[in-house]
Amino acid sequence: MDTGSWADLVSAGANVVVAIAAVVAASQGIAGLNAWRREAIGRRRMELAEDALTDLYEAADVIRWARFPGSFGYEATERQGRDDEPENIQAHRDTFYIPLKRLNDHSELFSRLRTRRFRVRATFGVDAVTPFEALHAVHSEIVVAAQRLMAMDPAHQNERTRERWERLEAVVWGVGDEDDKLVVKVGDALKLAETIFRPAIVTPGRIPES
């Protein structure tokens, strides 16, 4: 074999080696990119799961505080129109204004919950928004009950209105006993949230099956 043929053979061999190296490098690059993507997805899921659980637990605490029957005198001083009311009406409306104020003081939190549920649904699936909807329903139930009680006249009661009053008060006030329906609803919502979001925090790289 002449020198030119050897040179061509060596050149061809070198090209093959370069091509193989390029394929190997590309494969490693793709594998690395896929690993990075999986890690990034897992990290985003973990962060969203942490934020979701944190907000849900905070909202549950706010709801418990809003329903606490004790109060401070200053909590009702901001209610509009109270200075023009008879003393008995003022005291009555102040009482049921307090849970509304306590919830309203954390309106940003509940607004964030309503917004976050869209990301949660997109990331974890439709059922993952159930805890958010449950706490929103409890929040709405308290607000409606307190507003209706404020509109009632405590001086003019009959058997029907007294029964209604008691039902509404059972919604507004709560001390955490096991017969309290709202306590049960909140507790169930948090338990469900744990089953949905806790796995993403414990194993951030794992993508649950759909």
| Amino acid, res. 48 | L
> What pLDDT, on the 0 to 100 scale, is given for residue 74?
83
Average pLDDT of every residue of the chain: 83
> What pLDDT, on the 0 to 100 scale, is given for residue 129?
96
The residue-averaged pLDDT of 143-149 equals 96
pTM, two decimals, is: 0.76
The residue-averaged pLDDT of 109-115 equals 95
C-alpha distances out from residue 167 to 160, 179, 205, Å: 11, 13, 48
C-alpha distances out from residue 90 to 28, 77, 170, Å: 74, 10, 21
Q: Minimum mean pLDDT among 19-33, 35-49, 129-143: which range?
A: 19-33
Q: Which of 102-111, 168-177, 198-207 has the highest mean pLDDT?
A: 102-111
> What pLDDT, on the 0 to 100 scale, is given for residue 201?
87
Tell me how crowded residue 46 is: count the other CB atoms within 10 A of its CB: 17
> What pLDDT, on the 0 to 100 scale, is given for residue 114?
94
The residue-averaged pLDDT of 170-197 equals 91
Cβ neighbourhood burial of 81 (10 Å; 0-12, 13-18, 19+): exposed
The residue-averaged pLDDT of 194-209 equals 72
CB 177 within 8 A of CB 183: yes
Q: Minimum mean pLDDT among 74-83, 110-119, 128-137, 162-171: which range?
A: 74-83
Tell me how crowded residue 37 is: count the other CB atoms within 10 A of its CB: 10
pLDDT higher for 75 or 38? 75
Planar angle of CA 187, 75, 158, nearest 5 degrees = 75
| pLDDT at residue 38 is higher than 60 | no
